[in-house]
Amino acid sequence: MKPEPSLSARGAPHPSVPLPVGLGAFGPGARIQHYELIRQLGSGGMGTVFLARDTRLGRRVAIKLLHTKDAQFTQRFILEARTTARCGHENIVIIYEVGEAHGSPYMVLEYLQGQPMDRLLKASPRLPPSRAVELMSPVLRALSCAHAHKIVHRDLKPENVIVTDAGTIKVLDFGIAKVLQGDEHGAETDPRVLLEGLRLLPPPGRMDESLHLTRQGALLGTLAYMSPEQWGNGVGVDHRTDIWAVGIMLFRMLSGRHPLEPLRGPQLMVTAMMDEPMPQLRAVLPDIPAELASVVDRCLLKPKEQRFPDALAVLRALEPFLPGRFIPEVGVDESPYAGLGSFQEEDSARFFGRTRETAALVNRLQDRPLLAVVGPSGAGKSSFVRAGLVPVLKRSGIPWESLIIRPGRDPLAALASMVAPLVTSSPTLEEDLRKQQQISAHLRREPGYVGAVLRARARRERRRIVLFIDQFEELYTLVPDAVERRAFTACLSGIADDATSPIRVVLSLRSDFLDRVSEDERFMAELSPGLFFLTAPQQDGLRDALVQPAEMAGYRFESPAMVDQMLQHLETTPGALPLLQFAATRLWEARDPGRRLLTQSAYQRMGGISGALATHADSVLAGLSSQERALARAVCLRLVTAERTRAIVSMEELRELTRDTEALQRLIDGWVQARLLVIQTGGSSGSSVELVHESLIGSWPTLKRWLDEGQEDAAFLEQLRAAARQWQAKGRDSGLLWRGEMADEARRFQRRYRGELPESQRAFLDAVGAQATRMARVKRAFIVGAVALVSTLFAAAAVTLVFIREAQQEAEHQAIIALRAEATARNAEFLAKRSEAEAQERLAEVRAKEEDRRAAQSRAEEANAQVEATNETLVLRNSELVTALKRAKWARIRANAEMRRAEQSALIARQARAEAERLLQREQERTLRMQSTLGSPFIETLK
């Protein structure tokens, strides 16, 4: 049987590979339940694996279809797969569902992206002990979980172990495992009998060590990894069969060969010969540690009772050989913690909490020449590469050399200083500097020069080289010239130009600078596939980073609750790892050497993580000048809200605090390096800044004093920020400027406030002040005008009195004239009344005539209305009559048609009747002739 296909996306066969007989109904686009097949990933003797999408949950899965139509085997397979699915473990591939489609059993599994372990072993046949144990430990944890559920793998081998891109190790193919129903005792069987059950035997001389036993009813497995009981030595198969396979895998990892090499295929049947022990590991590899060799040898003892009792026991025996467990002695006064500094390569023994990420990056490094470790500030990117990746590469069994530089202000000079010692050696320092300057100038003309030098060195030394560019964001913070930046990235492209090259380039880059890389489109395109995002460690990783260095130095924490308290404090803290290292360093300085404890009382005396951080903040502040301290005060106050919580402030807003943006950037970068601030990548608003931890607000006395001093202005500043932001967003609308009491408060604030304000807020206050000044001027002008108006009114009143007196005299004179005129008017009124009476009489007559005319007109209108109604009725009846005439006409036409059809029917009926009469007459005549011919006796007989 062929090896089972990997569930990895890598190495997938070409889509044109034909499906095995019986699976022709399955192909891209086909559906199994709510799963839609995408493409074929691989095919083996046991089944075919497809990549599919789960249309219900919106995820990608792998579906394995078995090559069988045997109903009994299908039922057994589904039962065992469902039992295996209940065995949930992070190192066992997840089985989502099992079922049957078109008579073929299928299994739905999680889709893994990575590569099988056998590919790693082909790249590096011999592994260092720590690396081999590191790879096998997850496998043993998976086996321990499966064995606890009474499940035996039976076919454990490197091809069935996947190292995912995320660094997780997954064990596959429990599909042929058998659920143990108590002890199995098989009859003693000659191995040759089993070999006769092979469906396919290769030609002589071409026996493959991966040959499988596939006869139904026989024990299943891969010859090279089968235990004596699987070969039929008369002993039942149980979980110790998997321990045998673990021993074979460890032997092969450590020595680069199978224990029974050069035996192949059926020759391996000697495994079942109990009187012939397996070769010892130290006989093949004398320099291996004796304790490790004894673990491997015990796994390969043929009597299964003499092997380790379970997988957990093997794991415990291998743990002392895990990476970092071979620890050099730590000095009495030497701290096992790194504090706020980065871990270096020599600190790898005390670097914990990043095992999975390191394995993932090593896996990515195999086929990616250019990688970037991207993460927020405080995630530990430099430490991860220096103390995690580089030591693991050097322990991998392949010769690796590491070169480390930082771009600095002159990145090409940094490359030149690295290359110069590799090219030539100079007797004097001046000659070295001159040589570096020449190389730096040469790199501008030929950016591929560094790559050529490194590849030549790798070939000459027969080793691989990893070039680590630490703090890659310095290329954008310290190098203002875009041409210089492009020259540097062109050199990096020339170094990491192909996956087959022995050179690897790794960058560490703060995530808020990732968008700056796109200024060089070619370099960004090459870097994009190699982005490796490093987040803050999970709680388990932080616990390892806290507890294991102390244990390495022979110390322990006084109580588990103390560790939980420290981890809980950092649970939601950005940049938690360096803060934890810093607090642990202070705690180490206050340790109890007598009891070899890190005590709770020492932790409380230093004020916990908050107190240690406040002390550190004061020391950073003490190193600033008076101008920098004033700017730091303004920045800190801006990073705290009026409710004294952390504020997330954009870099653009902080730049408005001062006109010296370079000084602000230096301050921010320095405090980020000191782990007091963190910068995070935002969305459309760009990068944002915040205090590293909430506890600084309450536990740092200096910041608390600044906040108390500015308490009076805190609420006003909050209002000012909101008002200025709205005013700016509305195009500086004058209608949004403060007036009245708020404008007066703004003036008082400007007189007393001595801190820095953002430009937008200063402009808002200036506009409020200018508006208030304009309004005051308008008010003064109004008062002056009002006084002038009143004076004018008084003068006008005096003149008016004179005119009034003269008017009174004139009025008296006019009154006499008016009396005379009144008498005349009365006479005229009498005459007018008489004329009016006459006019009223004539008007009444006219009105009567008008009423008669209106009545006549009304009667005429009513008569017209009746005529119109009559006309409408006539028109309607006429229309109905026309319609009735049309209906009558159509009725006559239909009646005539019916009459014609009736006449035709009558004619046909008459014709039919005549025909019937003729036929009857003929029949009577025929009957008479027969009577006359045959006579009456025959007629009686017929009757």
209-261 pLDDT per residue, tens: 444 433 444 445 688 899 998 887 656 888 899 999 999 999 999 998 999 98
pLDDT at 3 over 50: no
489-503, 567-581, 704-718: least confidently modelled range? 704-718
Whole-angstrom distance, CA of residue 433 vs CA of residue 439: 10
The DSSP element (H or E) to which 631 belongs, if any, is helix 626-638
pLDDT attached to residue 426: 62
231-235, 304-308, 607-611: least confidently modelled range? 231-235
Q: Is 644 left (phi over 0), alpha (psi -120 to 50) or beta?
A: left
Q: What is the mean pLDDT of the chain?
A: 78
User: Do residues 52 and 27 lie in contact, with contact meaning Cβ atoms separated by under 8 Å?
Assistant: no
Position 719 confidence tier, pLDDT thresholds 50, 70, 90: confident
Most confident of 19-33, 504-518, 654-668, 828-842: 504-518
pLDDT attached to residue 248: 94
pLDDT attached to residue 216: 40
Q: Is 165 left (phi over 0), alpha (psi -120 to 50) or beta?
A: alpha
Share of the chain above pLDDT 90, in %: 16
Position 487 confidence tier, pLDDT thresholds 50, 70, 90: very high
pLDDT attached to residue 91: 87
- Higher per-residue confidence, 457 vs 12: 457
Q: Three-state DSSP class for 887?
A: helix
- 10 Å Cβ neighbour count for 925? 10
Report the interhelical angle of 741-752 vs 711-729 (nearest 10°): 120
Position 10 confidence tier, pLDDT thresholds 50, 70, 90: very low
Whole-angstrom distance, CA of residue 777 vs CA of residue 775: 5
Cβ neighbours of residue 930 closer than 8 Å, sequence gap 6 or more: none
pLDDT digits (tens, 9 = 90+) for 396-418: 778 899 999 988 888 998 899 88
* Number of residues assigned to the chain: 943
CA distances in angstroms from 637 to 654, 671, 678, listed in the order given: 11, 15, 16
Most confident of 525-529, 867-871, 888-892: 525-529
Residue 155 a catalytic site member? yes
- Higher per-residue confidence, 812 vs 467: 467
Q: Is 177 left (phi over 0), alpha (psi -120 to 50) or beta?
A: beta
pLDDT at 17 over 70: no
**CA-based nearest residue to 505, from 487, 523, 522, 521:** 523
- Note if the pTM is more than 0.95: no
Share of the chain above pLDDT 70, in %: 83
Whole-angstrom distance, CA of residue 59 vs CA of residue 642: 45
Q: Active-site residue among 54, 155, 173, 470?
A: 155
pLDDT attached to residue 484: 92
pLDDT attached to residue 214: 37
pLDDT at 846 over 80: no
Phi and psi torsions of 388, nearest 5°: -105, -65
pLDDT attached to residue 688: 79
pLDDT at 11 over 80: no
pLDDT attached to residue 208: 43
What is the Cα gyration radius of the chain?
51
- Annotated binding-site residue? 64: yes
pLDDT at 587 over 70: yes
What are the DSSP calls for 539-587, one per residue?
Answer: HHHHHHHHHHHHHHTT-EES-HHHHHHHHHHTTT-TTHHHHHHHHHHHH
Whole-angstrom distance, CA of residue 919 vs CA of residue 627: 138
pLDDT at 481 over 50: yes
72-86, 89-103, 135-149, 524-538: least confidently modelled range? 72-86
pLDDT attached to residue 931: 76
pLDDT at 377 over 60: yes
pLDDT attached to residue 193: 39
For the chain, domains (ranges, CATH) are: 1-112 (3.30.200.20), 116-199+206-322 (1.10.510.10), 354-536 (3.40.50.300)
What is the identity of the amino acid at 262? P
User: Do residues 258 and 220 lie in contact, with contact meaning Cβ atoms separated by under 8 Å?
Assistant: no
pLDDT attached to residue 6: 40
pLDDT attached to residue 686: 61
Arithmetic mean of pLDDT, 933-939: 58
